[in-house]
Amino acid sequence: MATRAELSEFLASAERRAFKHAVFAVRDDEAALDLVQDAMFKLAEKYADKPPAELPLLFQRILRNLITDHFRRQKVRNLWTTLLSSLLPESDEDSDRDPLETLDAQGTGEAAESAADQAERGQIMAIIEAEIRKLPARQREAFLMRYWEDMDVAETAAAMGCSEGSVKTHCSRANHALAAALKARGITL
């Protein structure tokens, strides 16, 4: 049984990666934060009595189910929005918006690293993330669980609800697609 300290330690170690997973899937920071928070709540409420070794797999499964639910709800919401917006008159509010206003300012600290290196690393990071985001959902999930969460094939298959063979196929395809996409953009890791 996981103690409170063990659960806290697990959540602290997994929360950032979980956030990234959710962002890759839903492409919205706020929604991703809500999903991670809900996953944490569910884990704490329902599965805190499980052994610490089982927590990563359970957390991944919960998060994955919540992401699926999110897309289901979004689908229904989009249907209603489309229906309602077709009934409302068009507004030209969006035409006044300056896209530059929405750009986030990058962090300005970290003087230890040279600005050029930092910028280059940031660019590579952004490109990798963008390419991961472009992967088909199943490939992305398998790739992240297997190579980022350090889950083995069996655990990944259990979390994704598919066979081990499918996991291997998804991972292989994701690897090749990612490598090809990065090469096409002139990035060598």
Partner 1 sequence: MNELEFTRQVRRHLEASTERLPYKVTHRLEQARTAALARVPAEQTVLSAAPSGALSLSGSGHDGPSLWKKALLSALPLLILVAGLIAIAEWSDMEQADETADIDAAMLEDDVPLSAYADRGFGVFIKNTGQ
Position 124 contacts partner 1 (CB under 8 A): yes
Q: Which residues contact 32 (CB under 8 A, 6 or more apart)?
A: 19, 22, 23, 25, 26
CB of 74 to partner 1, least distance (A): 21
Nearer to partner 1 by Cβ, of 90 and 110: the residue is: 110
Piece of the chain touching partner 1 by CB under 8 A; list 16-24, 62-70, 91-99, 156-164: 16-24
CB of 170 to partner 1, least distance (A): 13
Piece of the chain touching partner 1 by CB under 8 A; list 38-46, 72-80, 93-101, 155-163: 38-46
Would you list the DSSP string of 131-174? Answer: HHHHS-HHHHHHHHHHHTS---HHHHHHHHTS-HHHHHHHHHHH
State the Cα angle at 97 between 96 and 99, rounded to 5°.
Answer: 140
Sole residue written with tokens 């492409």? 27
Position 45 contacts partner 1 (CB under 8 A): yes
Position 37 contacts partner 1 (CB under 8 A): yes
Piece of the chain touching partner 1 by CB under 8 A; list 8-16, 73-81, 89-97, 156-164: 8-16
- Burial of 142 by CB count in 10 Å (0-12 exposed, 13-18 middle, 19+ buried)? buried
Give the C-alpha separation, 155 to 32, whole Å: 23
Binding-site ranges for partner 1 (CB under 8 A)? 1-4, 7-8, 11-12, 15-17, 19-20, 29, 33, 36-37, 40-41, 43-45, 48-49, 104, 107, 121-122, 124-125, 128-129, 132, 147-148, 175, 178-179, 188-189
